[in-house]
Structures are given as structure tokens and as C-alpha cells.
Amino acid sequence: MLFNSYQYLIFLPLVWLLYWHVFKPLRWQNLFLLVASYVFYGWWDWRFLALIVITSACSYASGLAIRRLQDTERRRAAWWVSAANIVFNLGILATFKYYNFFVESAEELLAVFGVHMDWPTANLILPVGISFYTFQALSYSIDVYKGKIAPTRDMVAFFAFICFFPQLVAGPIERATNLLPQILKARRFDHATAVDGLRQMLWGLVKKMVVADSCAMAVNRVWAAPDNFSSLTLLLGAALFSFQIYCDFSGYSDIAIGSAKLFGIKLMRNFSVPYFSRNMSEFWRRWHISLLTWFRDYVYIPLGGSRCAQWKIIRNVFVVYLLSGLWHGANWTFILWGVFHAVLILAYRFLGFNAKHKEIVAHNSSLPNLKEAFSMVVTFILATIGWVLFRAETIADAWHYFTSLFTRSMFDLGSVDVGKKALVLCLVLLVVDWIGRKREHPLQFDGNGLMRHRACRWALYYGLIAAIIFLQGHQEAFIYFQF
């Protein structure tokens, strides 16, 4: 079910009431959480539950086997068990997500050399969230093998860790070292944490239903027939998609993290105002944090990270961003998107910008200086170029969109006839995000200023709810559900 649906509006409070007031013992809470998560996931298609159960069971069994073998000093056998589980789970992911892509790409490549093959393709439906929970399961096996976490014998708790419903279908991609210990230990209801969770959920719904869905109406119209619009409108459409995907995905993450707080569980932060980044390296430290840190810890560092020869660093960066692109989808546009960002990251690295900007922009001031403002604009433009590749169905479509940007109509302000409402909403979002850039989310009040007054807080809540009711765009599925 969707976070922005009436079903979830009923499901969440019902699960919350039963979780805290009926199933009080830890074992019963975890069992109920597992059942609720399966209901949540099975709402799309109950048949996909078999895949997540298989992934959970194999990862659970492999964890126990790895530790048992390591205790008897059979580390090579333990390595094989870990590798087998990784290959098995990646095999499931590859079959459902990449099989047809690999077959069709191989046929096209062979056709270049005059060899014509007609391999069978499979009519498979991509299970929602398979990339997310597969990576979560893989991290558990790797961490157990490396000794970062002890394997659990509590099967219910482990299965609940894999399928915890708030972050099941679109992240954050949690590590066992963070989420599993929270599920294994007794939890107590904390009123302040729950209230903060509700605020974060409200802000996530505003970003998704008001900003992202309003942007989607304009973006879909422009991308459906780009030849019918001026260059300036196409430029606006590209910028609006940058805001759409940000508000759509970060909005989901806010709702997921906020929902988890209601159950006494803290998920990792997945976004940190990425469009206020001063270079692309900083952008990727603030965008989809759980995915990039996953690739950093399980791919980049094992390959040697940055502590190796220059050619190896280049190789490692390309491997990470190629995999990141492929993770997003079985399409050459995603692979090219990954290559584009790898080139940018390496360029910034060789220019000496890679390790700069650990603090948020304008950390000790209210406004950025001219250099920071210019850097943020450049970073946003580069990210938007990448998002055009991401949004396009084919590389030819992306090329056509780019070439259509450079016409005389670029300077015709009167030619813009779509996206004006969305543009205003994006500007308001930027102001709010800027004010709250040092917090986890803008509604995380510190007890100072106007928001220390209860009446002001409730006026804001009702205002945001009214915005959701009266300003929301046409309901769209979350973009990252397709990954």
C-alpha cells in the first residue's frame, strides 16, 4: 500500500495501537511487526511474499552457518557459505530485474557482428522493493562474515528486520548493525520521539503530495511531447524533475523514518538537503545516503578505496557509479547516468574538492556567500543534466531533449505555459529547507522562537494539512518503487 493512501491512513494507527497496547511482550511485538509487514507488502501482490521469505530464510541460515564454521576455524568454508548466499540473492534480483535487459543487449551486440540470435525473454513483473531488501540481506551476510555483528538465532526478529514495513519498499537501506539490535531489544514508547515522527511524516507528505506530485503533472506533460514546447519550457521541465525526484524520494524517506519512530525504532537519515551542496562529491554525501554508503562499505573500500594507485581509484569510482546506475534500473540510460556522475566525481577529486565541505553550507551565517551560492547553482545544474538522463526512456530521447534546449525560444519568457504553480512551490520548499537545513527535518523544533508556543505549532500543522488537501497534485506512485 502507498504511504499517501487512505489504506495506510487506517493501517498505521491500527498497527500502532495493537503494537503498544495488545502485543506488549517483545516476542509478541516482533511477531506482530512481522505479520503487519507481510500484510503491508502483500497488499501489492501476495505472490511476491515468497521471494522475501526465501531471501530472509537463506540469509538467516547462512548467518548461523558462517558463525558455526568460523568457530571451528573453517574460515574458507565460511567464505563459501557467505558467497553462496550473496550469489543466490543477487541471482534472484538479476532474474527479475535484469534478465531481459541482458538478453536484449547481448542480441544487439551480436547483431553488430552479423550474428543474429533469438533468445527467449521472460514476462516477469518486478517485485516492489526487491533491490532494497536484497541489499539489506546482503549486508547482514557480509557483516556476519566480517565479525561486525553476531548472527541472531531469533528467526522472527531477523525476518522482521528484513521486512520492517516503513522502509521495506524504498529504503532507507538499513544495516543489520543498526536495525537488528533495535528489534532484538525491548522498546519503550517515547512521547517526544513519536511526536517528532508524526511531524516528519507530515513534512514528507507535503513534499510528496504537494510539491512532487505538482511537479510531476508538468514534467509528464513536457516529456510526453517535448517537440510541442519551447526550449525555456523544456529547461523548466528538467529543473522541475530535479525537484520532483528529490521531494518524491526524500518525502518517502521522511514518512518511513517518521513511521519507524512511532514504533520506537530509529532508521538512518537518507537525505540531507542535497541541493545545497557545493560540489558533486558533497551532493552524493547528501543524496540517497543509505545506498551510497552501502556501495562505499561493501564495494569501494574492499576494492581498495582511495588508498591505492590512481588508476585503481579511477576504476573503483567507475565501478561504484556504474553499479549505482544499474541498481536503479535495467536501462542504458541509468548506466550512462552512472558514468556521467563517475566522471564528475573524478573531476572534482583531481581538482582537490573531494574532501571539502564537511559542514552544511553557511554553517555560521544566515545566507551563503557569493562563492557558495555560485557553487550550489553549478552543482544543481550538473545534477539536473544527470536527471535528464535518468528520466529519459532511451539515450536517443535524452539526446533529443538536450538538443531541443538550444533554440531561440530559450529567451522567450512568454512561451512558458506549464509548471508555474510547481515552480512557486519549489521556491517555497527551498526557503523552508534552507531555514531547517541544520535539522533532520524542518519541523524538528528546538523550543525557541514562535514554535515554542503550542498555538503556533498547531496553526502550522493545520496549514500544512490544508496545503495537502487543496494544493496537492495528481496522485503519482513513488518513483523509487520501480527500483
**What pLDDT was estimated at residue 165?**
94
Question: How many domains, in total, are found in the chain?
Answer: 2
119 and 106 Cβ atoms separated by less than 8 Å? yes
Do 76 and 220 fall within a single domain?
A: no
Cα–Cα distance, 216 to 315 (Å, whole number): 36
The span from the CA of 293 to the CA of 171, in Å, is 13
Copy the grid coordinates of residue 2. 502507498
**Local confidence band at 415 (pLDDT 50, 70, 90 cut-offs):** low
Q: What DSSP string describes 133-180?
A: HHHHHHHHHHHHHHTSSPPP--HHHHHHHHH-GGGTTT-----HHHHH
What is the residue range of 114's domain?
Answer: 6-187
328 catalytic? Reply is: yes
Does residue 314 sit within a domain? no
Report residue 483's pLDDT band, with 50, 70 and 90 as the boundaries. low
**How many angstroms separate the most distant Cα atoms in the chain?**
75
Is residue 402 in some structural domain? yes
| Average pLDDT, integer, range 147-160 | 94
**pLDDT tens for residues 339-385?**
999 999 999 888 877 666 778 888 889 899 999 999 999 999 999 99
Last residue of a domain, one of 172, 187, 202: 187
Q: Is residue 240 part of a domain?
A: yes
pLDDT at site 356: 67
Do 149 and 70 form a contact (C-beta atoms < 8 A)?
Answer: no
Q: Select from 151, 171, 187 the last residue of a domain.
A: 187
Q: Is pLDDT at 173 greater than 80 in this prediction?
A: yes
User: Grid coordinates representing 13?
Assistant: 494507527
Query: Mean pLDDT, the chain, as a whole number?
Result: 90
Do 265 and 126 sit in the same domain of this protein?
Answer: no
When mean pLDDT is compared across 52-61, 315-324, 401-410, 428-437, the lowest value belongs to 401-410
> Is 118 found in the same domain as 199?
no
403, part of any domain: yes
d(CA 444, CA 451): 10
Same domain, 422 and 385: yes
Give domain status of residue 349, yes or no. Answer: no
Residues 6 or more apart whose Cβ sits within 8 Å of residue 48:
41, 42, 127, 128
Question: How large a percentage of the chain has pLDDT more than 90?
Answer: 67
**Nine cell digits for residue 452:** 515554542
pLDDT above 70 covers what percent of the chain?
96
**Residue 318 within a domain:** no
Residue 32 banded pLDDT, cuts 50, 70, 90: very high
Residues 421-475: pLDDT tens digits?
999 999 999 999 999 999 999 998 877 777 778 888 899 999 999 999 998 887 7
User: Do 397 and 471 belong together in one domain?
Assistant: yes
Does residue 228 fall inside a structural domain? Answer: yes
- HSE, CB side, 13 Å, CA atoms: give it for residue 361: 26
- Position with higher pLDDT, 249 vs 71: 249
Active-site hit among 191, 288, 328, 357:
328
Q: Among 419, 27, 229, 383, which Cα is nearest to 35's?
A: 27
pLDDT at 76: 84
Report residue 414's pLDDT band, with 50, 70 and 90 as the boundaries: low
For 428, the grid coordinates are: 517555497
* pLDDT above 90 for 123: no
Residues in the chain, total: 483
- Pair (364, 234) in one structural domain: yes
What would the mean pLDDT of 73-92 be, rounded to a whole number? 88
Buried b (16+ CB within 10 A) or exposed e, 144-157: bbeeebebbebebb
Regarding whether 402 and 471 lie in a shared domain, the answer is yes
Last residue of one domain, picked from the residues 187, 211, 227:
187
| Whether residue 70 has pLDDT greater than 90 | no
What digits encode the pLDDT tens for the residues 316-331?
A: 999 999 999 999 988 9
Shared domain check, 158 and 200: no
- In the prediction, which pLDDT does 72 show? 79
Residue with cell 502485543: 23
pLDDT digits (tens, 9 = 90+) for 222-271: 999 998 888 889 999 999 999 999 999 999 999 999 999 999 999 999 99
Residue 294's φ and ψ, nearest 5 degrees, are -60, -50
List, in order, residues 6 or more apart from 69 with CB less than 8 Å away.
75, 77, 78, 81
Is residue 31 within 8 A of residue 15, CB to CB? The reply is no
- pTM surpassing 0.85? yes
59: amino acid identity, one letter: S
Contact 41, 165 (CB under 8 A): yes
Please indicate, yes or no, whether residues 14 and 131 belong to a single structural domain of this protein.
yes
**CA angle, corner 182, sides to 273 and 160, nearest 5?**
95
On whether both 241 and 260 belong to a single domain, the answer is yes
Q: Is residue 336 part of a domain?
A: no
Residues 132, 212 share a domain: no
Indicate whether 84 and 221 sit together in one domain: no
